[in-house]
Amino acid sequence: MTSTGQPRARDIGLEFPGTPGPFNAITDVAGVEVGYRTLIEGEGALSVGRGPVRTGVTAILPRGRAGLGRPCSAGWFSLNGNGEMTGTTWIDEVGELAVPITISNTHAVGECHTGVIEWVNEVHSGRGREWLLPVCAETWDGYLNDINGGHVTPAVVRRALDSARSGPVAEGSVGGGTGMNCYGFKGGSGTSSRRIAFGAETFTLGVFVQANFGARAELTVLGRPVGTQLDVPNPMQAPARPEPPAPAGAGSVIAIVATDAPLSPGQCKALARRVPMGLARTGTTGSFFSGDIFLAFSTADDRESTTNFPGGEISETEIESHRMMPWNRMNLFYSATAHAVEEAVLNSLIVNQDMTGRDGNFSPALPHQALLELLKQ
């Protein structure tokens, strides 16, 4: 169950390959913390600046609050670039991630960027306060939310970061996923994890998605195309409104993959490239109007950053050595990524409820019983 007590995909009887960790969440990777700030207010006609509001912020701390500034190996991949994830050029340059990750709506990226900088200066004032490149990602919630209303502020972002914790993770319409739709149903935040046996060691891989993609007709659950058979209102066929909805399949998906296995930056990038395999298992073919952007990181080497300004004399003790997974064993992590992504997307749909937003725009929850009946046939 989620931290809110709602049933998840496994709780309603869906079975997935692989063995999850105790929380079946990205927080099964030791040190990773997730926080939310959810904004739900108002109803009726859109009044820019007043609402209705259906949005929020998700914060992911790769090493938790205590490990802020300590780098993780990292890599990222874009399946389709109709979206934004800041900080990725620096990740390309050095193969490291040492800052919190935030995910919100498309027009809140700037506020997230500012909020992260303010928060780092507040809680860790001695760590790179004059030079920060936050990782801020987005998906579009303008169908349900007053996206131009400026409701996500740096203060909201700071509260999301302050709330980050380990343990069970809330899913569905929470944080940055509050106003999102997925496969023509209410989408949002979802997570899952896998345990990976490697000789005498067991590693953990966790995934978090902000799911806001896919057309109803594409939805596939455990290999069965069910979208066209689920007869519930389609949010892309709502009554007339001041501006049209996005095309079916649009909206974007952000995925974050974390692991405690010792991976190089190149191997992290390879994990990020496997996220589309998990998305495809749920039916999507990758819409041109969807920004599909993925980031993977490894917490294995806990060390001080070497990307800050150097001081003193050069010493041979500065040379680093790292463990790294053999490339010919990476299939274990590729399959775990694909399976965890599939389950995280379905969790984002199943742990959810109907939502009505701006101008009466309606997003129905995925009907559990109807889905199970179809899967029995």
**Which residues carry out catalysis?**
252, 290, 292
Structure tokens at 123: 């809680």
- Measured distance CA(22)–CA(258) in Å, rounded: 15
DSSP letters along 317-331, please?
GG--------GGGTH
Burial class (CB in 10 A: 0-12, 13-18, 19+), 358: buried
Element (H, E) at 101: strand 101-105
DSSP letters along 224-268, please?
EE-GGG--S--GGGPPP-SSPPPPTB-S-EEEEEEE-S---HHHH
> What's the alpha-carbon Rg for the chain, to the nearest Å?
20
Backbone dihedral region of 15: left (phi > 0), alpha (psi from -120 to 50 degrees) or beta? Answer: beta
